Copies of this chain bind each other. A is one copy, B any other.
Amino acid sequence: MLGFSIDEAVIAGHNRAQSKALDAGYARLCDQLAERDVDVAAVESRLASLNIAVPSWGLGTGGTRFGRFPGRGEPRDVYEKLDDCRTIWDLGRLSKSVSLHLPWDEVSDYRKLRLYGERLGLAFDAVNSNTFQDQPDQAHSYKFGSLTSTDAAVRRQAIEHNLQCIEAGVALGSRAITVWIGDGANFPGQQNLSRAFERYLDSMKDIYKGLPADWLLYIEHKFFEPAFYATVISDWGSSYLAATALGERAKCLVDLGHHAPNVNIEQIVARLAWSGKLGGFHFNDSKYGDDDLDAGSINPFQLFLIFNELVDAGARLGEAFQPAYMLDQSHNITDPIESLLISGEQVARAYAKALLIDRTALTQAQDANDVIAARRLLMAAYETDVSPLLAKARIDKGGAADPIAVYRDSGYRARKADERPVSAAGPAVRQSVL
């Protein structure tokens, strides 16, 4: 790791100082769960294997179209981003993998980058392509679309970029590519909605052909933005149509912020899981649109209900059901490391609570149409304060009892601010506001 890192002894010291309170809290929770005949060890075992990837672009300060307020000590390249990921892993022990974004994270030598990551103990998750922005040296503009452009040369360029992403991913040891495009129309009439979809399928078929046999292709839909009238892949229905047209290894990815208002996201999760097309998640939270707020910050109950579906699907579908988890947030006013630590914890919290649901009793209540009993079973799990369980899981894996406290005490950000002086240009806004 470049420059300052938080010593594991510091973490251990922190944990020791809190150990009495932690033990007491954990004991109280175990007592409570024992009354409900919960198999705590089984829950802990499943929690221990949870991984939630960090997106490389989440490590810088995000912004809105109205501006960006940079923070101190932001990583200036992918190596520094990996350093921050390692810090998140050291403290939170929930995010061992990182998801890169090309060309934002472009390097000349991906094997060297892979080695660097491996030395930090990190893995490389799905790679993400970018055909929603123009790069300085680009032959054709994506102003009017990329994979769906009416211009074959533009489509070809976008396809090639995706194939290059796969190539980079292979070098990094990734096993999947996530394709999100901003293609669409801002005005009625601008685009033939059906022909745009057909061009999308044609382009995606070319990308799919380039997919290694052990890779998955994730299709990410989005309700709107940057296209403001019609987005080519705007909902799970379109995503499913496309994934089906492409083949077995094409899956649908659910970003929590990419839906119409009021939509029941957990039901979409259930439908996609049922159809065998659920690829994974981009976790975040929102109140209005694609707000990209920290996961579990606005509607934690919804996150719990999503994990209720995931635990249920896992029970029905078995080992084959392995959706990929990633955080995808825009940290506009918080320290990205703090937000990612808390968000990972919120995801783990939702998962832990979902694991506490008495599923046998729930099925009985459902079959008997005992609505009140079913609600109470969910509420009993949801209202349980699983914080001690989460802390225990972290500590058992070498993480911090209180990651935020350790992080703040360590002075990490201030140290990085010194180590990473911002150049005149600074990180381009467009690299941080996804």
What is the interface of chain A, defined by CB distance below 8 A to chain B? 21, 24-25, 28, 31-32, 35, 62-67, 69, 132-134, 141-144, 150, 182, 185-194, 197-198, 223-226, 228-230, 234-238, 240-241, 259-264, 266-268, 270-271, 273-275, 286-289, 291-294, 297-302, 305, 308-309, 312-313, 316, 330, 332-335, 338-339, 342, 349, 362-363, 365-369, 371-372, 374-378, 382-385, 387, 404, 429-430, 433-434
Contact = CB atoms under 8 A, between A and B. Distances in A.
25 contacts: A25-B32, A62-B65, A66-B430, A150-B366, A188-B266, A188-B305, A188-B378, A193-B267, A193-B271, A223-B262, A224-B291, A228-B288, A229-B291, A236-B237, A237-B271, A262-B287, A294-B375, A298-B301, A299-B302, A334-B371, A335-B372, A338-B372, A349-B383, A383-B387, A384-B385
Given A144-B333, A224-B291, A229-B293, 10 more contacts: A28-B28, A69-B141, A187-B293, A190-B369, A197-B271, A228-B291, A235-B263, A262-B287, A294-B375, A300-B382
Contacts of A309: 193-194
B274 A197 contact: yes
Nearest to A69: B143
A65 B433 contact: yes
B371 A192 contact: no
Nearest to A289: B289
A66 B297 CA distance: 23
Contact of A224 (B225, B288, B333, B433): B288
B193 A270 contact: yes
B21 A66 contact: no
Contacts of A365: 189
A409 B190 CA distance: 22
Nearest to A66: B226
Contacts of A185: 371
Given A186-B333, A237-B271, A271-B241, A230 B264 contact: yes
How many chain copies does the complex carry? 4
A169 B182 CA distance: 39
B372 A66 contact: no
Contacts of A240: 237, 240-241
B190 A433 contact: no
A226 B240 CA distance: 27
Contacts of A187: 293-294, 297-298, 371, 374-375
A375 B188 contact: yes
Nearest to A378: B189
A180 B314 CA distance: 30
Contacts of A362: 189
Residue among A230, A235, A339 having the largest count of chain B Cβ atoms under 10 Å: A235
A417 B271 CA distance: 40
Contact of A69 (B134, B223, B367): B134
Contacts of A193: 266-267, 270-271, 309
Nearest to A193: B270
Contacts of A186: 291, 293, 332-334, 371
Contacts of A363: 192
Nearest to A372: B338
Given A24-B31, A31-B24, A371-B333, A262 B264 contact: no
Contacts of A333: 143-144, 186, 371
Contact of A225 (B62, B66, B297, B313): B66
B67 A430 contact: yes
A24 B383 CA distance: 17
A291 B230 CA distance: 12
Nearest to A363: B192
B234 A237 contact: no
A144 B369 contact: yes
